[in-house]
Amino acid sequence: MDRRVFLTSAAALAATWAGAPPIAMAATPEDARLRAILDSFWEADLDEAPQLATSFGVDTGKRAVQRGRLDDVSSAARARWVAARKARLAQLSAIDQAELSSMGKTDLDVVQYAYRKIVEGGERFTFGEGGYYAPYSPFVISQLSGVYQSTPDFLDSVHPVKTASDAEAYLTRLAAFAGTLDANTADFRQDAARGVLAPDFALDATLGQLRRLRAPAPQEHGLTTSLARRAAEAKIAGDWAARAAAIVSAQVYPAVDRQIAAVQAARPQATPEPGIWRIPDGEAFYAGALAFQTTTNLTPDEAHQIGLKQVADLDARMDVLLRAEGLTQGTVGERVAQISKRPDQLYANTDAGRAELLQALNVQTDAMRSKMPRAFQTLPKTPVEIVRVPPEIEDGAPNGYATAPTLDGSRPGRFYINLKDTAEWPKFTLPTLTYHEAIPGHQWEGAIALSSTEIPRLRQVAIGFAAHGEGWALYAEQLAEELGAYEGDRLGQLGYLQSLQFRAARVVIDTGMHAKRWSRERATDYMVEKTGFVRSRAQREIDRYAIWPGQACSYKIGHTEWVRLREEAKARAGAKFDLKTFHDVLLRGSMPLVVLERTVKEIFPA
């Protein structure tokens, strides 16, 4: 789920993206000066991020050497990354904000906000994952973090194998994988010695995934068969399977063994408490993480109360629908669970059932795309591919996530859904999930931002804000309902409200675990009670929140802000309010909620 490019300028990069218009000329001389600085930051990022280059399909030409490299994941690289953002803030301080256009001011505000948060957290908390996850992803290795689970996925689904040089680059990266595993292992040991360690249940899941990574014979491993299969499909001559298997056997497996040994050695230190409060300076870490993820100044207590109120409100709305279905006994969650178990709401937990489920999601996506002209002026044509989370990582992976398309259009955006157990995905819940992840959610938002002629590439690709993006995706669920997606479909509407309830419950649970010291069991019980999810799905969610403190709060808090800003804009504009114009705020890119508020007020002034 990591993402990282190069070309000589943002305009040159735009030219490589199929159908992309050129970046607009700067409005003022100071805008041009700022753009030059931001472009230089972008190029520096690309120098350090070969996997980003491949992810966006621009590791060619002068960037061809990047195709054979992996990102530096060491703690030293993390420290350099934080220090570079501090130096960049000094450069940006020389910009005269009074001489910037409105868009230039937005660019400056957004980048300065992001870098200040990184520096504040990165200098105080010198542990955890590096790169674009820093500074508030506290665990180098867990069921959700670590190159052991991200690199095989990257090599299989992102690294291209179309030519012999691509295949050679794959082998080079495969050999480098052993080094990044060892870098993670060294940092894991260092952090564990400082008392920064994932909970015991997370480490147990991590060990399970590491052992599955290690289990196949080298010649049968996915790292080997992926290259062999794709080389054969591309008709590239060579004994790629034997060469890959030799690297897996001689280099990758020993590094995996060393990582397994390190996690096993640290496992007795781990505790069952899911909250980040248990690590040194944990309360301050959570306060920083909550602010970082929500781009607000909410305290944990304030966020907890917001979550409790919204859970109660949604409980009442769901109760009305359940009573209309003839379900009057038991809690809302218990009654939703009854519907979730009905045979007519379940896909078979087989490969055929999974294929049927994925087909249904594609049909729903196409149907929603046809409604977009009613709500948007900007209508990207970017395709969306809906695929299964790789089975080898599904035990620890989130229930769903999205990745961006390549800039050259060679690979569409993807929505990954975890299909370990299809019983976790009753049919009435799936449309809303699709609207969140695909259209008009993440993929749609990202495609609109990439179509902008004004946003610097640094902001389009390298700087994002969870509260903006996840808040939009939840707002997209609401927009789908407003566009009639559930007309005449009471169960579909129930699935929509369950989704909102799920995100409201997240706020309660995340703050409950990390600030109020809730146990894993209490958090899971609350999720099951309020959403009606099967326990296995709820458990996976809780285990995710334990690893990424604060991130789960970004959804509902971001959604609440998107809705508030829209309603306030309506009140100011009256009959002149235009929904399509409001949605064109996406052309200005991802931004902190405080900057989003100012931007909407500029578009719809009093």
Is 534's pLDDT higher than 90?
Answer: no
- State which of 272, 303, 323 marks the end of a domain: 272
Domain span at residue 198 reads 139-272
In a domain, 592, yes or no: no
In a domain, 446, yes or no: yes
- State which of 137, 160, 177 marks the end of a domain: 137
Measured CA to CA, the distance from residue 144 to residue 397 in angstroms comes to 6
pLDDT of residue 184: 97
Q: What counts of helices (H) and strands (E) characterise the chain?
A: 25, 3
3-state helix, strand, coil in the chain (%, to 5): 70, 0, 30
Q: In which order are the strands placed within the sheet that holds 413-417?
A: 384-388, 413-417, 400-403
Same domain flag for 337 and 378? yes
How long is the chain? 606
Same domain flag for 235 and 308? no
Residue 532 has which token pair? 């009606």
Is 27's pLDDT higher than 70?
Answer: yes
Is 139's pLDDT higher than 80?
Answer: yes
Is 79's pLDDT higher than 90?
Answer: yes
Is 324's pLDDT higher than 50?
Answer: yes
Instruction: State how many domains the chain has.
Output: 3
The mean pLDDT of 483-493, rounded to a whole number, is: 94
The mean pLDDT of 331-338, rounded to a whole number, is: 94
Find the range with the poorest average confidence among 237-246, 375-384, 539-548, 563-572: 375-384
For 420-489, the DSSP string reads S-GGGS-GGGHHHHHHHHSSSSHHHHHHHHHH-SSS-HIIIII---HHHHHHHHHHHHHHHHHTTTTTT-
- Per-residue pLDDT band for 410 (boundaries 50, 70, 90) equals low
Same domain flag for 143 and 133? no
Nearest to 145 by CA among 418, 547, 546: 547
How far are the Cα atoms of 387, 423, 482 from residue 354, in angstroms, in the given order?
A: 10, 11, 29
Residue 578 has which token pair? 């235009």
In a domain, 589, yes or no: no
pLDDT of residue 407: 59
pLDDT of residue 472: 98
Same domain flag for 305 and 266? no
pLDDT of residue 415: 86
How many CB atoms neighbour CB 9 within 10 A? 16
Measured CA to CA, the distance from residue 142 to residue 204 in angstroms comes to 9
Is 433's pLDDT higher than 80?
Answer: yes
Same domain flag for 325 and 454? yes
- Per-residue pLDDT band for 7 (boundaries 50, 70, 90) equals very low
Measured CA to CA, the distance from residue 25 to residue 303 in angstroms comes to 41
* pLDDT tens per residue across span 169-196: 999 999 999 999 999 999 999 999 999 9
Same domain flag for 509 and 362? yes
Measured CA to CA, the distance from residue 17 to residue 340 in angstroms comes to 43
Same domain flag for 160 and 206? yes
The mean pLDDT of 416-430, rounded to a whole number, is: 92
What letter does residue 392 receive in the DSSP assignment?
A: G
Same domain flag for 231 and 308? no
Higher pLDDT, 475 or 4: 475
In a domain, 573, yes or no: no
- Per-residue pLDDT band for 382 (boundaries 50, 70, 90) equals confident
Hey, what amino acid is at 507? V
Gyration radius of the chain over CA positions: 24
Same domain flag for 400 and 350? yes
| Percent with pLDDT over 90 in the chain | 81
The mean pLDDT of 421-425, rounded to a whole number, is: 92
In a domain, 191, yes or no: yes
Contact predicate 16/407, CB 8 Å: yes
Nearest to 119 by CA among 76, 96, 140, 90: 90
In this structure, the dihedral spanned by the alpha carbons of residues 403, 414, 532 and 535, taken in order and rounded to 10 degrees, is: -70
Find the range with the poorest average confidence among 104-118, 355-369, 382-396: 382-396
HSE of 386, CA atoms in CB hemisphere, 13 A: 27
Measured CA to CA, the distance from residue 133 to residue 130 in angstroms comes to 6
Find the range with the poorest average confidence among 133-137, 505-509, 575-579: 133-137
The strand pair at 400-403 and 413-417 is best described as antiparallel
- Per-residue pLDDT band for 24 (boundaries 50, 70, 90) equals low
Q: What is the mean pLDDT of the chain?
A: 91
pLDDT of residue 204: 97
- Predicted TM-score (pTM) of the model is 0.88
Residue 15 has which token pair? 């030219």
HSE of 492, CA atoms in CB hemisphere, 13 A: 16
- State which of 561, 576, 594 marks the end of a domain: 561
Contact predicate 127/194, CB 8 Å: yes
How far are the Cα atoms of 53, 61, 159, 171, 456 from residue 50, in angstroms, in the given order?
A: 5, 13, 11, 15, 20
Residue 576 has which token pair? 């002149």
Same domain flag for 331 and 413? yes
How far are the Cα atoms of 357, 363, 431, 435, 444 from residue 367, in angstroms, in the given order?
A: 16, 6, 10, 11, 14
- Per-residue pLDDT band for 412 (boundaries 50, 70, 90) equals confident
| Percent with pLDDT over 70 in the chain | 94
In a domain, 569, yes or no: no
In a domain, 575, yes or no: no
Residue 380 has which token pair? 């990207």
The mean pLDDT of 245-270, rounded to a whole number, is: 98
In the numeric block, the tokens 């290795």 are attached to 141
The mean pLDDT of 131-158, rounded to a whole number, is: 92
Is 393's pLDDT higher than 60?
Answer: yes
Same domain flag for 97 and 187? no
Residue 70 has which token pair? 């992996």
The strand pair at 413-417 and 384-388 is best described as parallel
Long-range contacts of range 8-11, CB-CB < 8 Å, 24 or more positions apart?
A: 8/43, 8/62, 9/39, 9/43, 10/35, 10/39, 10/42, 10/456, 10/457, 10/458
List Cβ neighbours of 553 (8 Å cut-off, separation of 6 or more): 290, 293, 294, 303, 307, 506, 507, 510, 511
In a domain, 189, yes or no: yes
Same domain flag for 240 and 317? no
